[in-house]
């Protein structure tokens, strides 16, 4: 079978051994994710034709205005994963607390939990810009058969057994890793099947794109300002191009393919950063590292951060390895200069 003719289901079955400890869970988890993503993709493509655009008038746990599609996508993913009873717990960016999935005798013998950002970049949906879904899978650490515990979700990113994202754009694409490289699958909407379109994805070591909301420049730490100035300097390989979509999945996806770096630093307005460690940064860091890139909070490897709460935030720099190294260097030099 030619590599690019393989469906997502066929690919997962062929690579089942990559999912440590699994006895079929990988296929079942991904079957649920791809089903929910196809439903969300269908709704996203109808935006503007039906009443699913705009805010619902409520705020989520993050204090952000919830969009109608935020609520819809959240319900679809939770319902799909819950009905199939393939995980013992779900944590969503849109919910205050994690969801315990009970099986027989009010226990649950499933071994995995999933964390999810159901609709990343949803504020872009009104203007027909790509949005996405980000997910992360962990093996539970509490005893199997008992209700899931908070500790099952508060694991470092190094403990992830799978992570991925779905982009709803000109085409719908699912990208994932189980720690054995990164592969991308594109949905054929005519038959509802994901096909392998981007095998063995690799992030270039260097790139010519930097992605950051420069409107917040004045609020950034000095080291980040220094890096942005570096990107803008007239040199043989610079200035770099500034490209910022405002949807993490989309920005990361572009830089993963073309080479580039994504920056979301701390600021005077967000002293701990804005992106969520568990729902956004860890899964994206896992993917980027598996593709040969690097992910950092400016000082530390993102995947080694020990989380203390479900909705913890962090600074995030991710993309081409050498570009993230340069950011860390700028931050370190600014730190040393401030101590003099």
Please give the pLDDT value at position 55: 52
Q: What are phi and psi of 268, to 5 degrees?
A: -60, -25
Mean pLDDT computed over 195-211:
97
Asked whether residue 66 carries a pLDDT value surpassing 80, the answer given is: no
The boundaries of every CATH 3.40.190.80 domain in the chain are 209-339
The answer to whether the annotation marks 274 as part of a ligand binding site is yes
The answer to whether the annotation marks 214 as part of a ligand binding site is no
The boundaries of every CATH 3.30.540.10 domain in the chain are 3-198
The answer to whether the annotation marks 241 as part of a ligand binding site is no
Is-above-0.85 flag for pTM?
Answer: yes
Specify whether domain 209-339 bears CATH 3.30.565.10: no
Comparing 72-86, 305-319, 325-339, the range with the smallest average pLDDT is: 72-86
The answer to whether the annotation marks 262 as part of a ligand binding site is yes
Asked whether residue 44 carries a pLDDT value surpassing 90, the answer given is: no
Please give the pLDDT value at position 255: 96
How far apart, in whole angstroms, are the C-alpha atoms of residue 239 and residue 79?
A: 47
The answer to whether the annotation marks 267 as part of a ligand binding site is no
The answer to whether the annotation marks 46 as part of a ligand binding site is no
The answer to whether the annotation marks 263 as part of a ligand binding site is yes
The answer to whether the annotation marks 244 as part of a ligand binding site is yes
Is 318 in contact with 294 (CB distance < 8 Å)?
yes
Mean pLDDT computed over 256-278:
95
**Nearest-CA neighbor of 32 among 214, 166, 195, 221?**
166
The answer to whether the annotation marks 280 as part of a ligand binding site is yes
How far apart, in whole angstroms, are the C-alpha atoms of residue 187 and residue 224?
A: 38
Written as six digits, the tokens of 144 are 């199997």
How far apart, in whole angstroms, are the C-alpha atoms of residue 40 and residue 34?
A: 10
The answer to whether the annotation marks 200 as part of a ligand binding site is no
218 or 60, which is more confident: 218
Place of tokens 């062929």: 14
- Please tell me the CATH code under which domain 3-198 is placed: 3.30.540.10
Share of the chain above pLDDT 90, in %: 71
The answer to whether the annotation marks 117 as part of a ligand binding site is yes
């Amino acid at each position: 079978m030619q590599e690019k003719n393989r469906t997502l289901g066929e690919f997962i079955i062929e690579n089942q051994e990559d999912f440590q400890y699994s006895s079929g869970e990988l296929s079942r988890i991904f079957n649920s994710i791809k089903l929910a993503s196809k439903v969300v993709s269908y709704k996203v493509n109808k935006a503007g034709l039906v009443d699913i655009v705009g805010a619902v008038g409520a705020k989520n746990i993050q204090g952000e205005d919830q969009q109608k599609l935020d609520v819809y996508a959240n319900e679809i993913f939770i319902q799909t994963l819950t009905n199939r009873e393939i995980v013992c717990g779900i944590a969503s960016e849109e919910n205050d607390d994690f969801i315990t999935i009970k099986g027989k005798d009010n226990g649950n013998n499933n071994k995995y939990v999933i964390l999810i950002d159901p609709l990343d970049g949803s504020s872009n949906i009104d203007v027909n810009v790509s949005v996405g879904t980000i997910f992360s899978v962990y093996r539970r650490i509490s005893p199997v058969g008992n209700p899931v515990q908070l500790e099952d979700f508060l694991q470092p990113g190094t403990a992830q057994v799978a992570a991925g994202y779905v982009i709803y754009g000109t085409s719908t694409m699912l990208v994932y890793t189980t720690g054995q490289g990164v592969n991308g699958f594109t949905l054929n909407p005519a038959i509802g099947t994901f096909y392998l379109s981007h095998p063995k994805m690799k992030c270039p070591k260097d790139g010519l794109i930097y992605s950051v909301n420069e409107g917040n420049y004045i609020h950034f730490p000095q080291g980040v300002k220094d890096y942005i100035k570096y990107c803008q300097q007239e040199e043989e390989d610079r200035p770099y191009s500034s490209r910022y979509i405002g949807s993490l999945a989309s920005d990361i996806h572009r830089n993963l393919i073309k080479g580039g770096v994504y920056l979301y630093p701390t600021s005077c307005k967000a002293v701990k950063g804005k992106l969520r460690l568990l729902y956004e940064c860890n899964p994206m860091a896992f993917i980027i590292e598996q593709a040969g890139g690097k992910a950092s909070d400016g000082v530390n490897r993102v995947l080694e951060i020990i989380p203390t709460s479900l909705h913890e935030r962090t600074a995030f720099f991710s993309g081409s390895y050498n570009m993230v190294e340069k950011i860390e260097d700028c931050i370190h030099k600014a730190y040393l200069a401030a101590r003099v």
